[in-house]
């Protein structure tokens, strides 16, 4: 007989962290049913009981009742192996198309006993008669009493946008495999999938904002950003003499900070690309290049404008805008 499950959301921690959500698998909220081996086991008991009644054999009765008790005890242990777990999800890190999105799931066993063979797998909620069978991974873990364990459930990304892990199935058939207990868990956090960075490997210098050109990459005392070839008129003290001694050419050191170039990335920069995904991939690649070179850059695409800045937060905002474009 199946026992209905409704996952009950535990309150957010007292620190008010909205990146953590917990679910407690309550004792009365777990499904349990016999496995295929369990149904065969029950059929065998029925045949043994009929044989014992037909021949009035006391030893057959004893064996039948002993095996029935073993099955009931197994069902109890299967049920207790899953109930009481506290599942906690945190926000996954963004990835690029083609990478695996890793959804962190923490299993808290502090209020329970030692648990064995806990399985996590993706549960497809769509019901279609003709559909291609998906091969999602199954993670099997064990938990000691009073311990916590964190696993990262992987989902392969194929498209740009927002990836939602609709539902996970947590199950166990410990100890004998004749019963299986399961519950469902749905993380509320989404994973951002950025466009794949590819395209032209050189920044579009023709998109420099002329009004802010006085903010250019220059030799100075700020953050070092790389080298460029020596040009007539460059200061002697800005030459990278150590690089020159290694016979790598006459190069000039560049520093970012006041005077950094302002780069505007927009649709005009990628107008030669007709495909939208190709445009987004090229802008994504340029954002990564500009961030690595500490160049002040801005992003202007339909529905989103971000003023020229630099830094990790600025990069994440721009990449998120590319991921959510048209979604």
For the chain, how many structural domains are there in total?
A: 2
> Do 156 and 16 share a domain, yes or no?
yes
Residue 36 lies in a domain: no
State the pLDDT confidence band at 14, using cuts at 50, 70 and 90.
very low
- Residue 51 forms part of a structural domain: no
> 254 pairs with which residues across the strands?
226
Q: 130 lies in a domain?
A: yes
Name the residue range of residue 213's domain: 205-324
User: Which of the residue ranges 29-33, 203-207, 241-245, 253-257 has the most confident prediction, judged by mean pLDDT?
Assistant: 29-33
**The predicted structure's pLDDT at residue 309:** 84
Percent of the chain scored above 70 by pLDDT? Answer: 76
Q: Which of 168, 194, 220 is the last residue of a domain?
A: 194
Q: What is the mean predicted confidence (pLDDT) over 296-317? A: 89
185 and 97 within one domain: yes
- Judge if 161 and 213 occupy the same domain: no
Instruction: Kindly report whether the global pTM for this prediction surpasses the value 0.75.
Output: no
Q: Is the pLDDT of residue 2 over 50?
A: no
109 plus 239 within the same structural domain = no
One domain, residues 219 and 170? no
Q: Is residue 122 located within the same domain as residue 15? A: yes
DSSP assignment string, 170-190: EEE-TTTSSEEEEEEE----E
Q: Which domain CATH number covers 97?
A: 2.60.40.10
Q: How far apart are CA 299 and CA 308, in angstroms?
A: 7
Domain annotation covers residue 43:
no
Same domain, 237 and 93: no
Comparison of pLDDT for 171 and 24, the residue scoring more:
171
Q: Which band of pLDDT confidence, cut at 50, 70 and 90, is reported for residue 219?
A: very low
Q: What is the pLDDT of residue 229?
A: 77
Domain-embedded: residue 266: yes
Query: What pLDDT is recorded for position 125?
Result: 64
Same domain, 25 and 156: yes
Using one digit for the tens of pLDDT, what is the confidence trace for 287-302? 999 888 878 889 999 9
Least confident of 5-14, 73-82, 139-148, 194-203: 5-14
CB burial of residue 169 (10 Å; 0-12, 13-18, 19+): middle
Rounded to an integer, the average pLDDT of 172-200 is 92
> Is pLDDT at 104 greater than 50 in this prediction?
yes
What is the pLDDT confidence band of residue 133, given thresholds at 50, 70 and 90?
low
Domain limit, last residue, from 173, 194, 215: 194
Residue 249 counted as domain residue: yes
State how far the alpha carbon of 301 is from the alpha carbons of 55, 95, 152, 267, in Å: 84, 21, 34, 6
Q: Is the pLDDT of residue 65 over 50?
A: yes
Is 44 within a domain?
A: no
Q: Give the pLDDT score at 171.
A: 94
For residues 189 and 92, the answer to whether their CB atoms sit within 8 Å is yes
* Of the residues 166, 194, 222, the one at which a domain ends: 194
Average pLDDT, the chain: 80
Task: Kindly tell me if the per-residue pLDDT of 49 is higher than 80.
Answer: yes
The lowest-confidence range among 33-42, 65-74, 130-139, 190-199 is 130-139
Specify which residues 180 forms β-bridges with.
33
Q: Within this chain, do residues 143 and 232 fall inside the same structural domain, yes or no? A: no
Pure H helices in 219-258: 241-245
Helix ranges, the chain (H): 36-55, 58-80, 241-245, 276-292, 312-324
Looking at per-residue pLDDT, the higher value among 85 and 68 belongs to 68
SS3 assignment, position 277: helix
Question: Which residues have CB under 8 Å from 294's CB, separation 6+?
Answer: 223, 225, 256, 260, 310
User: Looking at residue 327, what is its pLDDT?
Assistant: 81
């Amino acid at each position: 007989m199946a026992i209905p499950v409704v996952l009950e959301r535990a309150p957010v921690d007292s620190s008010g962290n909205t990146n953590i959500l917990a679910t407690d698998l309550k004792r009365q909220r777990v499904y349990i049913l016999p496995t295929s081996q369990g149904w065969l086991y029950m059929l065998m008991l029925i045949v043994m009981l009929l044989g014992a009644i037909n021949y009035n054999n006391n030893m057959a009765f004893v064996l039948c009742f002993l095996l029935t008790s073993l099955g009931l005890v197994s069902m109890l242990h299967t049920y207790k192996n899953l109930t009481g777990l506290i599942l906690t999800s945190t926000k996954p890190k963004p990835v690029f198309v083609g990478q695996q999105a890793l959804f962190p799931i923490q299993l808290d066993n502090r209020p329970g006993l030692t648990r064995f063979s806990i399985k996590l797998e993706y549960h497809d909620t769509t019901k279609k008669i003709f559909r291609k069978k998906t091969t999602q991974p199954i993670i099997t873990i064990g938990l000691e009493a009073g311990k916590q364990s964190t696993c990262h459930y992987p989902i392969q990304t194929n498209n740009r946008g927002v990836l939602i892990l609709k539902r996970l199935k947590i199950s166990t058939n410990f100890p004998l495999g004749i019963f299986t207990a399961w519950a469902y868990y749905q993380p509320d956090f989404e994973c951002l999938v950025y466009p794949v960075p590819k395209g032209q490997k050189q920044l579009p210098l023709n998109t420099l904002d002329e009004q802010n050109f006085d903010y250019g990459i220059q030799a100075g005392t700020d953050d070092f950003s790389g080298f460029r070839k020596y040009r007539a008129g460059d200061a002697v003290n800005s030459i990278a003499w150590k690089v020159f001694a290694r016979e790598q050419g006459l190069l000039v050191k560049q520093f970012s900070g006041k005077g950094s170039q302002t780069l505007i990335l927009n649709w005009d920069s990628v107008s030669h690309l007709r495909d939208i995904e190709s445009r987004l991939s090229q802008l994504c690649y340029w954002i990564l290049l500009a961030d690595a070179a500490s160049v002040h850059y801005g992003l202007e695409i339909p529905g989103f404008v971000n003023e020229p800045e630099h830094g990790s937060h600025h990069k994440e905002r721009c990449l998120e805008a590319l991921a959510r474009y048209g979604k």
